[in-house]
Amino acid sequence: MTKKRIGIVGSTGSIGRQALDVIRLNRELFDISFLCANSSEELLKEQAAEFGVDAVCLAAGGAQSLVKLIREQELDLVLVAAVGAAGIVPAWETVNRGIDLALANKESIVAAGRIILDRAKETGASVIPVDSEHSAIHQCLMGQRIEDVQKVILTASGGAFRNTPNDALGHVGVSEALNHPNWSMGSKITVDSATMMNKGLELIEARFLFDIDPSILDVVIHPQSIIHSAVQFIDGSTLAQLGWPDMRTPISFAMGLPSRLECGVKPLDLFEVGRLDFRKPDYDKYRCLALALEVLKKDNNGPMIVMNAANEIAVEQFLLGNVSYLGIAEVIEETLSIFDTGDFSTLEEVFETDKKARETARYSVKRMNG
């Protein structure tokens, strides 16, 4: 494998730290061109010192420094692991320059998927998904014809409340929502896993990443998180990608493509796994997933932008104790009901809609609190 020059956006977050774990095991294969964090300055300094990186930036004060790094550094690959809509600008700047993008930020595709992916086609940049589900789909589709695909099935753990009775969800708190049974992730995505909004966002992401008709996308709850997603074909075959629930596997796949890398994850032992279970989602329990499916069917990015923005505000306020767990879906639903949006073709329109949706969601939170 040729040595790659890589930039990491969100290096101090969960995905960024695990990406650096992979690089530690493969130092001869990577040169880190830059590191960027949101606000964790001390950890960023430690990372830069360890890996000998001179170009670093904090994104909390604005995206200008990060944009400058992406535009000016020598790069073969940029890993975008920023949380939320903050990933849109670095994702766009990366593909706009024709640089390959390893994408661990689903919100940028949900809000601006067509814009980013169309530009990637024009510049020749590859967009390689880092989400475990989309990495699995990517691997299952390699060498296949998209017209032979009959169904794409995203698996979901069911999150922290998969075994919690529906009538008890009105009393759950932040610490319980953050207690994911399988994965170690950041706070925002862990809450999204509990509500299954993460799966709704991932369905939309899959629609754009693989240019898949929404009608052939499906979700199954798979508590063990061993099968990361599956693709069914017209000849009756189903291909699935399996592995332990460890993000270092999809991270290393995206970073190493077309090679596979040693990443510190042990091989899957089917005897240790023992059994695999599957069940349909309960849309009464997972109201956020139901809302996302309604938005997906519209297939316009306007409602997708609004839903994503409202979810970010609702989760933020839940983590701060200002919204109940069930209130997350209420904020999203109310915000969606206020907007009548179509399809947008520019980033300016995306950001303007995102801004208005966030303001509306914050108003919804204040209204709920009287």
pLDDT value at 247 more than 70 = yes
> Do the Cβ atoms of 43 and 114 come closer than 8 Å?
no
pLDDT value at 367 more than 80 = yes
Rounded Cα distance, 197 and 340, in Å: 21
Q: Which residues contact 16 (CB under 8 A, 6 or more apart)?
A: 8, 9, 10, 35, 37, 79, 81
Rounded Cα distance, 254 and 256, in Å: 6
Q: Could you report the per-residue pLDDT of 349-358, keeping only the tens digit for each?
A: 999 999 999 9
Query: What mean pLDDT is predicted for residues 301-317?
Result: 94
Query: What mean pLDDT is predicted for residues 34-55?
Result: 95
According to the 3-state scheme, what is the secondary structure of the chain? CCCEEEEEECCCCHHHHHHHHHHHHCHHHEEEEEEEECCCHHHHHHHHHHHCCCCEEECCCCCHHHHHHHHHCCCCEEEECCCHHHHHHHHHHHHHCCCEEEECCHHHHHHHHHHHHHHHHHHCCCEEECCHHHHHHHHHHCCCCHHHEEEEEEEECCCCCCCCCHHHHHHCCHHHHCCCCCCCCCHHHHHHHHHCHHHHHHHHHHHHHCCCCHHHEEEEECCCCCEEEEEEECCCCEEEEECCCCCHHHHHHHHHCCCCCCCCCCCCCHHHHCCCCCECCCCCCCHHHHHHHHHHHHCCHHHHHHHHHHHHHHHHHHHCCCCCHHHHHHHHHHHHHHCCCCCCCCHHHHHHHHHHHHHHHHHHHHHHCC
| CATH architecture group of domain 4-129 | 3-Layer(aba) Sandwich (3.40)
Half-sphere exposure of 175 (CA within 13 A, CB side): 0
pLDDT value at 370 more than 80 = no
Instruction: Express as a percent the part of the chain with pLDDT over 70.
Output: 99
Yes or no: domain 302-370 corresponds to CATH 3.40.50.1820: no
Break the chain into its structural domains and give their ranges.
4-129, 135-243+267-299, 302-370
Beta bridge partners of 218: 153
* pTM more than 0.85: yes
Rounded Cα distance, 240 and 236, in Å: 13
Q: Could you report the per-residue pLDDT of 134-157, keeping only the tens digit for each?
A: 999 999 999 999 999 999 999 999
pLDDT value at 344 more than 90 = no
pLDDT of residue 184: 67
Between 185 and 322, name the one with better pLDDT: 322
pLDDT of residue 49: 97
Q: Could you report the per-residue pLDDT of 161-214, keeping only the tens digit for each?
A: 999 999 999 999 998 998 877 766 788 888 999 999 999 999 999 999 999 999
